[in-house]
């Protein structure tokens, strides 16, 4: 076996799947190695423009995605500027139109509530057309069901689905989850991952966690 190359397209002849960290360039989007995005509707290299929405530099908020994640077609990440403020008596974004209303340009971010970054762990699978909202943290090994709307944090190795997304079940028992979180196989050198790939694919935790 050979170590996989770092390139845009993981598979020869497949232009629908990309290694995501090879096509994102915005400093506030951080993606780990081998995380893939598949899009059979639009150009997957345009992930920043088509899938990371309301991500304005004025906020300084970030989208952080770990290693070995799988992101399905149409998944969307809605950052903080999508959140019209709930503090005001009106949800109308007056501060955005500061010129029309004689407001201070420096207060434009008062138009929305800042809920924080979106942080996605390692080995997370995000299903078709799922939506992840600002301020959400998704733990390692979690699965987000197709068209789920994730409004709250998701625990590691938990499967969630629905609108809003709710836990369906754990992928493993708690003891196994603790072992996997301690193992952090995604941080191993590539050669070690290759060596243990059969055990990883078969879920042989007895071989992975001595």
- Catalytic residues, by residue number, are 84
pLDDT in tens, 143-153: 999 999 999 99
Phi and psi at residue 2, to the nearest 5° = -115, 155
Sign of CA dihedral 99, 103, 109, 113: negative
Question: 118-129 pLDDT, tens per residue?
Answer: 999 999 999 999
Q: How far is the C-alpha of 63 from the C-alpha of 77, rounded, in Å? A: 8
Question: Given a cut of 50, is residue 67 above it in pLDDT?
Answer: yes
Closest listed residue to residue 41, CA positions, set 33, 32, 50: 50
* Residue 47 clears pLDDT 90, i.e. is over it: yes
* 186 confidence band (pLDDT: 50, 70, 90): very high
- Please check whether residue 132 is in contact with residue 125, taking contact to mean a CB–CB distance below 8 angstroms: no
């Amino acid at each position: 076996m050979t170590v996989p190359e770092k390139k845009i397209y993981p598979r020869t002849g497949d232009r629908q799947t990309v290694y995501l960290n090879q096509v994102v360039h915005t400093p506030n989007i951080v993606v780990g190695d081998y995380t893939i995005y598949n899009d059979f509707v639009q150009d997957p290299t345009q992930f920043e423009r088509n899938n990371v929405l309301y991500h304005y530099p004025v906020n300084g908020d970030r989208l952080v995605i770990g290693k070995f994640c799988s992101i399905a077609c149409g998944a969307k990440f809605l950052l903080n500027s999508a959140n019209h403020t709930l503090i005001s008596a009106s949800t109308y974004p007056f501060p955005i139109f500061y010129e029309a209303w004689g407001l201070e340009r420096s207060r434009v971010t008062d138009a929305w509530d800042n809920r924080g970054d979106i942080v996605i762990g390692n080995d997370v699978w995000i299903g078709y057309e799922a939506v992840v909202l600002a301020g959400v943290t998704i733990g390692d090994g979690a699965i987000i069901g197709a068209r789920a709307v994730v409004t709250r944090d998701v625990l590691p190795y938990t499967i969630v689905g629905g609108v809003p997304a709710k836990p369906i079940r754990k992928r493993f028992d708690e003891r196994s989850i603790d072992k996997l979180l301690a193992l952090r196989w995604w941080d191993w050198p590539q050669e070690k991952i290759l060596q243990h790939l059969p055990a990883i694919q078969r879920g042989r935790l007895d071989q992975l966690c001595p």
